[in-house]
Amino acid sequence: MTVPEINSWQSVKAEVMRRIVERTWLPGDLVPNEVDLAEEFGVARATVNRAMRDLADAGLLERRRKAGTRVALNPTRKATLEIPITRLEVEQRGAIWRHAILERKETVTPVVVASRLGLPTNTPMLHVRSLHYANNHPFLYEDRWINISAVKGICDVSFQSIDANEWLVQNATFTRGDISFSAANTTKQEAELLEAGVGAAIFVIDRTTWNGDIPVTAVRLAYAPGYRMHTEI
């Protein structure tokens, strides 16, 4: 027998995947329950469970109590994106990172930001605009609003030597966030800052984060033209 032995949850996962890929189990099919699979593979049910849960998380299986486990009809594959700190992202590309503060002002929430964060319009906020460079070329334009009362000590930070994202990540943990990705044409201002043509297509990330129910920060990240976000599934 040259058949790989099944004795770990990873090998169970591989075998189940093989059956899906080779169409032994077709999309929509009900697959055997955990007890039967455990017996067939000669492992404990917990081991089968770990493998099946993993595959369900990946979107290849759909599981429901009592109804059992089915091969996903529309395997909505899930891709995991890492949201890195800009400095590290730049450095990982072998470039030298630096950043410059364009503006840093304590003010109250403008309407558009207030509604996005669910805050009253007179909430005191810190508004920081900055530009990140890779090897002295503009890399990212960051426009950030920070809820002062949610982040202790924020007013004493100059952000000259550390960027807002990195400081916040280390000093203001958040529990949940909202991210959207889109494409936009540069405005005149953005074009100048990013040293790009007016109207050039740029990749934009809008992110809002909360700590429990308290809004922490809302930020718009506009990447210089040519930026790609990459992942594997």
Q: Which residues contact DNA (rule: CB under 7 A)?
A: 7-10, 33-35, 42-47, 49-50, 52-53, 56, 63-69
CB of 31 to DNA, least distance (A): 7
133-134-138 Cα angle (round to 5): 45
> Residue 179 and residue 85: Cα distance in Å, rounded?
15
Residue (102 or 198) nearer to a second copy, CB? 198
| x-or-dash string of contact with a second copy, 154-183, rule CB under 8 A | ------------x--xx--x-xxxxxxxxx
| CA dihedral sign of residues 208, 88, 169, 166 | negative
CB 196 within 8 A of CB 202: yes
Q: Which helix (H) or strand (E) holds 92?
A: helix 86-92
Using rule CB under 8 A, residue 213 touches a second copy: no
| x-or-dash string of contact with a second copy, 41-70, rule CB under 8 A | ------------------x-----------
> Residue 67 and residue 124: Cα distance in Å, rounded?
52
**What radius of gyration, in Å, describes the C-alpha atoms of the chain?**
24
Using rule CB under 8 A, residue 233 touches a second copy: yes
- Of 206, 128, 117, 125, nearest to 167 by C-alpha is 128
**Binding-site partner at residue 47 among DNA, a second copy, none, CB < 5 to 8 Å by type:** DNA
**Binding residues for a second copy, per CB under 8 A?**
17, 20-21, 23, 27, 59, 73-85, 88, 166, 169-170, 173, 175-185, 199-204, 211-212, 223, 225-233
